[in-house]
Structure 1
Amino acid sequence: MSCKMTIEQICGAVESPFFDRKSARIDAKALAVHLIAFANADGGVIAVGVEDDGTITGIDSYAENINELLRAPFDFCKPSVRVETERLSCTNRNGKPDHILLIEVLQSSDLHANQADEVFFRVGDKSKKLNFEERLQLMYAKGTRYFEDTPVPDAGLDDLDLGFVREFTSRIGYRKSPEEYLRENKEFLSERSGKEEVSAAAMLLFGKNPKHFFPRARIRFVRYEGTEARVGARMNVIKDVMFEGRILQVTEKALEFVGSQIKERTYLGADTRFVTEPEYPEFAWKELIINAVAHRDYSIKGTDIQIKMFDDRITVESPGTLPGIVRLNNMRHVHFSRNPKIAQFLHEYEYVQEFGEGVDRLYEVMEAAGLPQPEYKVEAFMLYATIRNTKLGGNCGGTTPVTTTDSTTDTSTVATILAFCAQPKSREEIMTMCGLKNKNHFIKAHLKPLLESGQLRMTIPDKPNSRNQKYVAVKTED
Structure 2
Amino acid sequence: MAGSLSDLFQLTDVTADEFWNLVGKVEHERLDFKARVPKGLSDTLAAMAMTTGGLVVIGIDDDRKFAGAQLEQAVYDGVMTSAHDVEVSVTTHELRVDGVPVVMVGVPAVTGRLVTTPNGRVLRRVGSSNHPLRGDALARFVRAVTLHPREDEPVSGVGVADIDLDALNQLLAAQKRPRVTRRAALKNMAELGLAVERAGQLVPTVAGVVLACVSPDVHIKGARVQFVDRQGAPTRTGASRSRHTLSAPLSRLVEELVALIENAGERHEAVVGLRREVIPTFPREVLREALLNALAHRDYQLSGGTVDVTLFSDRLEVRSPGGLAGHVTLENLRDEHFSRNSRLMGALKSLELVDEFGEGVDRMYEGMAGRLLPDPTWSATDASVTVTLRSESPVSLDDQVWLSMLSATQMTTDERRVLVLARHEGRVTRRSVRALLGPDVDVPSLLRGMFFKALLVQVGERGGTYYELSREIVARVGSYGIAAQARRREQLVDLVQSRRRLSVAEAADELHVPREIVKGLLVDLTSEGLVRAVGNTRARVYVPAADS
State the TM-score, normalizing by the size of structure 1. 0.49
Q: Which structure is higher in helix share?
A: 2
Indicate the structure (1 or 2) with the bigger Cα radius of gyration: 1
Flag the structure with more relative contact order, 1 or 2, with Cα contacts below 8 A and sequence separation at least 6: 1
TM-score relative to the length of structure 2: 0.43
